[in-house]
């Protein structure tokens, strides 16, 4: 039997939002993510789980998943090609964000053990992502105007909609900026008529795309909406990770890949290529996450059309640093080993 050389530790860290963050279904001022560290030979790899109640995950469920990692597990992984399937075999009822943290920690450790940034080891030629959007949560029109003024350095905003006041909100935003907007309704428009009415208006407002206009359960209506829509539609809640991409392409133009839904960086990279083959464009998004998980997301976003990796910009107590964002809001992955962020 192989002696386990890895020390495994985890910690639940409440991430404090700079401002209360409201979307169509919830409002939060703090989000608890679970941070995993694995140490061997004086090298520590870090992983992060951002459990989301929309997908029935909590920090406690993530921790119990970490507790069940068998003795010696990490010693048996030898390359990134096998890490996804080995973690996939751990739990027959996978906790996606926990899987993500486990894989992230191993990949970070492995790249650090080679003394190389992971993006280079995985064969990427560039370390620069597309422009990332900056998210403005739901608030009163006056407060949303103030948030835009505070964020005037950003080139594109993601506006959370899906309430009774959507038009009023956009009109208020257009009083303070003419920059392009991405709109995320978070399943907030219940009927085809409502979605069409909102999109017709948004089409006159320099909007780049609409994310998840209708509930994920309304797939048939989403197909009708795509037939009609003058604006690109992006699947977020409708695309977790295992859906048939040909079907998704019938109802959407874009998929939003999030690592915490997908449970694997290696899988996310593969799905991105498969989506491109089906004619879908790809956005890489995030939950409320630190610079660590967003560095991992940025690695996938190197090959995407859109980035929405601002989670770490929304929190005031980021446990990690060193993730560079340039003046155009493109994330630049560092040349430091692993994911290149600093604990
Ligand atoms: Mg979304």
Percent of the chain with pLDDT over 70: 99
- Region 140-146: mean pLDDT is 92
Ligand 1 centre to CA of 283 (Å) is 10
Ligand 1 centre to CA of 71 (Å) is 37
Ligand 1 centre to CA of 45 (Å) is 29
Lowest mean pLDDT among 24-33, 183-192, 210-219: 24-33
pLDDT in tens, 197-250: 999 999 999 999 999 999 999 999 999 999 999 999 999 999 999 999 999 999
Return the C-alpha torsion angle 268, 269, 272, 276, nearest 10.
-160
What is the number of other CB atoms lying within 10 angstroms of the CB of residue 82? 12
Residues, Cβ < 5 Å to ion ligand 1: 184, 211, 236
- Region 297-310: mean pLDDT is 97
330-332 and 324-325 as β-strands: parallel, antiparallel, unpaired? Answer: antiparallel
Place of tokens 């069409």: 196
pLDDT, residue 24, reads: 73
pLDDT, residue 54, reads: 81
Ligand 1 centre to CA of 286 (Å) is 9
- Region 5-10: mean pLDDT is 96
Contact between residue 331 and residue 294 where contact means Cβ atoms under 8 Å apart: yes
Ligand 1 centre to CA of 110 (Å) is 31
pLDDT, residue 1, reads: 47
CA distance 293 to 62: 15
Ligand 1 centre to CA of 121 (Å) is 30
CA distance 209 to 186: 13
Q: In what order do the strands lie in the sheet with 181-184?
A: 134-136, 157-160, 181-184, 207-211, 233-235, 254-258, 281-285, 306-307
Lookup: tokens for 286 = 């995030």
Ligand 1 centre to CA of 34 (Å) is 21
Lowest mean pLDDT among 13-27, 198-212, 246-260, 321-335: 13-27
Contact between residue 133 and residue 161 where contact means Cβ atoms under 8 Å apart: no
Ligand 1 centre to CA of 159 (Å) is 10
Ligand 1 centre to CA of 148 (Å) is 19
Ligand 1 centre to CA of 259 (Å) is 13
Q: Is pLDDT of 312 > 80?
A: yes
pLDDT, residue 4, reads: 66
Give the CA angle between residues 200, 202, 203 to the nearest 5°: 65
Ligand 1 centre to CA of 311 (Å) is 12
CA distance 341 to 289: 13
For residues 148 and 55, the model is more confident at 148
pLDDT, residue 3, reads: 58
Strand partners, 132: 307
């Amino acid at each position: 039997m192989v002696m386990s050389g890895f020390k495994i530790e985890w910690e639940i860290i409440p991430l404090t939002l700079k401002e209360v963050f409201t979307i169509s279904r919830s409002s939060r001022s703090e989000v608890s993510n679970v941070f995993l560290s694995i140490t061997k030979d004086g090298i520590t790899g870090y992983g992060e789980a951002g459990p989301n109640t929309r997908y029935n995950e909590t920090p406690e469920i993530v921790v119990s998943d970490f507790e069940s990692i068998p003795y010696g597990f990490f010693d048996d992984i030898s390359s990134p090609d096998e890490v996804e399937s080995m973690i996939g075999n751990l739990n027959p009822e996978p906790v996606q964000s926990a899987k993500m943290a486990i894989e992230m920690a191993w990949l970070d450790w492995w790249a650090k053990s080679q003394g190389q940034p992971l993006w280079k080891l995985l064969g990427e030629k560039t370390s620069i992502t597309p422009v990332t959007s900056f998210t403005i949560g739901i608030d009163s029109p006056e407060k949303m105007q103030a948030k835009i003024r505070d964020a005037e350095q950003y080139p594109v905003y993601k506006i959370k909609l899906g309430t009774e006041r959507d038009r009023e909100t956009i009109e208020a935003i257009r009083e303070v900026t003419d920059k392009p907007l991405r709109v995320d309704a978070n399943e907030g428009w219940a009927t085809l008529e409502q979605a069409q009415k909102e999109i017709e208006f948004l089409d006159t407002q320099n909007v780049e795309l609409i994310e998840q206009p209708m509930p994920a359960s309304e797939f048939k209506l989403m197909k009708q909406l795509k037939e009609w829509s003058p604006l690109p539609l992006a699947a977020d809640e409708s695309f977790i990770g295992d859906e048939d991409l040909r079907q998704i392409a019938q109802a959407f133009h874009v998929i939003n890949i999030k690592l915490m839904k997908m449970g694997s960086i290696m899988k996310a990279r593969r799905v991105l290529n498969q989506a491109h083959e089906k004619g879908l464009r790809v956005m890489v998004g995030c939950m409320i996450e630190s610079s660590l998980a967003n560095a991992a997301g940025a690695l996938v976003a190197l090959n995407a059309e859109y980035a929405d990796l601002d989670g770490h910009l929304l929190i005031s107590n980021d446990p990690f640093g060193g993730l560079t964002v340039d003046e155009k809001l493109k994330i630049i992955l560092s040349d430091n080993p692993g994911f290149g962020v600093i604990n």
